[in-house]
Amino acid sequence: MQTIKIKDLSFKPFIAEDELQGLIKNVAQKINNDYNGKTPLFIGILNGSFMFMGDLMKSIDLECLVSFVKLASYEGTETTGKVNKLIGLNESLEGQDVIIVEDIVDTGNTLEKLHQIIQEKKPNSVKIATLLFKPDPYKKNFKIDYIAKEIPNAFVVGYGLDYDGFGRNLPSIYVLNQ
Ligand code: 5GP
């Protein structure tokens, strides 16, 4: 792996594909244990969570449901804090055990909004699984149940995460060269 360029910015290798896959298998194992005998509904947040969800699901051995929703909240390299409407949630959540699947939790604004909307739909339980978590900028109190990896407060791309729409297809994660 070497330094890459996306538009005007340069990024260096940060989390290799092998490491990512191992981290995701660990999360899947915990979920398999915690939800033994249950039928959870996994809700992925588009666009960023599509790769994580794909690989996570390959190691989930529960009978389960998978769905995706969309929230637009981020532009460029800074979290705006603005969160738009939730699009695409058609199924009833009443009585469901819901697991929200996120690519990355930064300030927690996106997650908080989503959590509120989902709680209003009266699920039996709601847990959160995220590939990456930045403890420094995180401003909320609610618990993040499954974290594949904690990272420093830096801008990352790849494996679903973009810079200005690009870089989502990279199989590993890169960090901005400062
Ligand atoms: P939050 O609302 O927690 O501040 O931000 C969550 C969303 O911001 C993520 O779902 C992601 O789309 C975006 N985001 C936060 N940090 C990064 C980052 O380092 N890289 C990229 N590409 N997106 C990020």
CATH classification at residue 173: 3.40.50.2020
Q: What is the model's pLDDT at position 73?
A: 52
Q: What is the model's pLDDT at position 161?
A: 98
Q: Exposed/middle/buried for 42, CB within 10 Å: 0-12, 13-18, 19+?
A: buried
Ligand 1 atom with the smallest distance to the CA of 106 is 3
Cβ–ligand 1 contact at 101 (below 6 Å) = no
Q: Which residues contact 154 (CB under 8 A, 6 or more apart)?
A: 175, 176, 178
- Whether 88 is in a domain gets the answer yes
| Domain containing residue 47 | 40-57+81-178
Cβ–ligand 1 contact at 161 (below 6 Å) = yes
Q: Stretch 26-52: mean pLDDT, rounded?
A: 97
Q: Which of 75-84, 86-95, 166-175 has the lowest mean pLDDT?
A: 75-84
Catalytic residues: 106
Q: Exposed/middle/buried for 131, CB within 10 Å: 0-12, 13-18, 19+?
A: buried
Residue identifier of the C-alpha nearest atom 16 of ligand 1: 106
User: Which pLDDT tens digit goes with each residue over 127-163?
Assistant: 999 999 999 999 898 899 999 999 999 999 999 999 9
- Whether 70 is in a domain gets the answer no
Cβ–ligand 1 contact at 56 (below 6 Å) = no
- Whether 131 is in a domain gets the answer yes
- Whether 3 is in a domain gets the answer no
Q: What is the residue-averaged pLDDT of the chain? A: 92
Query: CA 18 to CA 87: how far, in whole Å?
Result: 33
User: Which pLDDT tens digit goes with each residue over 57-82?
Assistant: 999 999 999 999 987 554 545 554 55
Q: What is the model's pLDDT at position 79?
A: 54
Cβ–ligand 1 contact at 105 (below 6 Å) = yes
pTM of the model: 0.92
- Whether 74 is in a domain gets the answer no
Q: Are 104 and 130 in contact (CB under 8 A)?
A: yes
- Whether 139 is in a domain gets the answer yes
Q: What is the model's pLDDT at position 43?
A: 97
- Whether 75 is in a domain gets the answer no
> 168 C-alpha vs ligand 1 centroid, how far in Å?
13
Number of domains in the chain: 1
- pLDDT category of residue 83 using cuts at 50, 70 and 90: very low
> 36 C-alpha vs ligand 1 centroid, how far in Å?
31
Query: CA 140 to CA 39: how far, in whole Å?
Result: 28
Cβ–ligand 1 contact at 159 (below 6 Å) = no
- pLDDT category of residue 89 using cuts at 50, 70 and 90: confident
| Closest C-alpha to 158, from 51, 67, 79, 55 | 51
Residue identifier of the C-alpha nearest atom 17 of ligand 1: 155
User: Which pLDDT tens digit goes with each residue over 90-139?
Assistant: 889 999 999 999 999 999 988 888 888 899 899 999 999 999 999 999 98
User: Which pLDDT tens digit goes with each residue over 18-36?
Assistant: 999 999 999 999 999 999 9
Tokens of 104: 């990355």
Q: Mutation test of ligand 1: which of 15, 45, 50, 104 has the most ligand atoms closer than 8 Å to its C-beta?
A: 104
- Whether 132 is in a domain gets the answer yes
Cβ–ligand 1 contact at 74 (below 6 Å) = yes
